[in-house]
Amino acid sequence: MKRFIQILVLGFSSWVASACMEMSSAQPTLNINYPAAYVVNGESSTMSIINLNTNEATGLVQLTDNKANGSGMFLAYPHHIYLNPTQNQIAIADPGINLSGGHGAAHTSTAKVLILDATKGQNIKLIELPMMNHNAIYTPDGKEIWTSQMDDDGKVLVYDATTYNLKNTIKVGKEPAEVTFSADGSMAFVANGKDNTISVIHPATKMVTATIAVGKNPVGAWTGGDNRMYVDNEDGQSVSVIDVKTLKVVETVELGFMPAYAAFHAETKELWVTDPNAGKIHWWKQNTNGKFEHENALVTAAGAHAIAFKGTAAYVTNQEAASVSVIDLVQHKKIKDIKVGSKPNGIVLKF
């Protein structure tokens, strides 16, 4: 989404005032012992739980900054969400600013990472950060949590996932956004929005092994099941496809719209990309030469954003419609919309 200067208007100020109020009632303890989708609702500072067996919303967690569950201050615009490998803990990035309108020039001087129990929905730990982040992700072995620092002096902070102490600081490009890992866990990828590059980091050595030029304003190098990474270039209106073995861009898919998220489905060999301004999701099919050809698009709802796969179903968060769309990937049609909180952004699935 296009670079912007965040303007504090009265409505936003009023929301901040109400969102920062102390909670007075205790948060109920959940028992999420079923396959579930966890959806971060940025504006309402909540996490919706969807039962993947029934595709119904079954729980709601108020996201606060206090370990005493159900008390403390509401988080200000929590963003992306990841599970650890054993799927018993969740990490949520809290950049402290509304990123639904763009990933550019507005920054906050502080941010947070919230760690939650994935079964009970209760707070475990809050990590305070010196600068705005975009996501917080566990390493493939589950021993560390990595999070970006979105300023010109770009960094990735590495925390111990048991003690939550800072272990390493890795220098990357300007305004790094999403941090991701390849499907085989061999490399980490950091999207440097202001540099139009991807930094590739060896997880063990913490050394940058390559810097790859991509399109304008990359937000994330999203993990594909085909040993490739799919980079959504917001201002470039394209997807750069990176081969993990060669660390080269092997294809650039021109979109004709500003992407919000890109996801490759290995079984159907299709690339799915959300179009938030049109409220659609598009798909491309690989031809016999392995190149992507645009097939079609379908309507999800306003502000289509993140994508998560379960078998041949896709779950798409719709930021402006406060819903999650369920898509049948084989029939290429929407099955239903599930109502969630305000401005849903990140989504992760537990099986």
pLDDT at 110 over 50: yes
What average pLDDT does the chain have? 91
Task: Report the range of poorest mean pLDDT among 35-39, 41-45, 71-75.
Answer: 71-75
Give pLDDT tens digits for 194-222.
999 999 999 999 999 999 999 999 999 99
Residue 22 scores a pLDDT above 50 = no
Summarize pLDDT for 305-341 with one digit per residue, the tens. Answer: 999 999 999 999 999 999 999 999 999 999 999 999 9
Q: Which CATH architecture has domain 35-259?
A: 7 Propeller (2.130)
**Which comes out higher in pLDDT, residue 274 or 18?**
274
pLDDT tens column, 247-305: 999 999 999 999 999 999 999 999 999 999 999 999 999 998 989 999 999 999 999 99
Q: Predicted confidence band at 29 (pLDDT cuts at 50, 70, 90)? A: confident
Lowest mean pLDDT among 2-11, 50-59, 110-119, 130-139: 2-11
| pLDDT score for 9 | 34
Rounded distance between C-alpha atoms, residue 256 and residue 271, angstroms: 15
Q: What is the pLDDT of residue 225?
A: 87
Q: What is the pLDDT of residue 23?
A: 41
Cβ neighbour number for residue 46 with a 10 Å cutoff:
20
Q: So what's the pLDDT on residue 286?
A: 92
pLDDT digit string, tens, across residues 237-252: 999 999 999 999 999 9
Please say if the pLDDT value at position 108 is more than 80. Answer: no
Query: In this predicted model, what pLDDT tens digit does every residue of 162-201 receive, in sequence order?
Result: 999 999 999 999 999 999 999 999 999 999 999 999 999 9
Question: What local confidence, expressed as pLDDT, does residue 258 receive?
Answer: 97
With 70 as the cut, is the pLDDT of residue 19 above it? no
For the ranges 33-42, 65-74, 115-124, 325-334, the lowest mean pLDDT is seen at 65-74
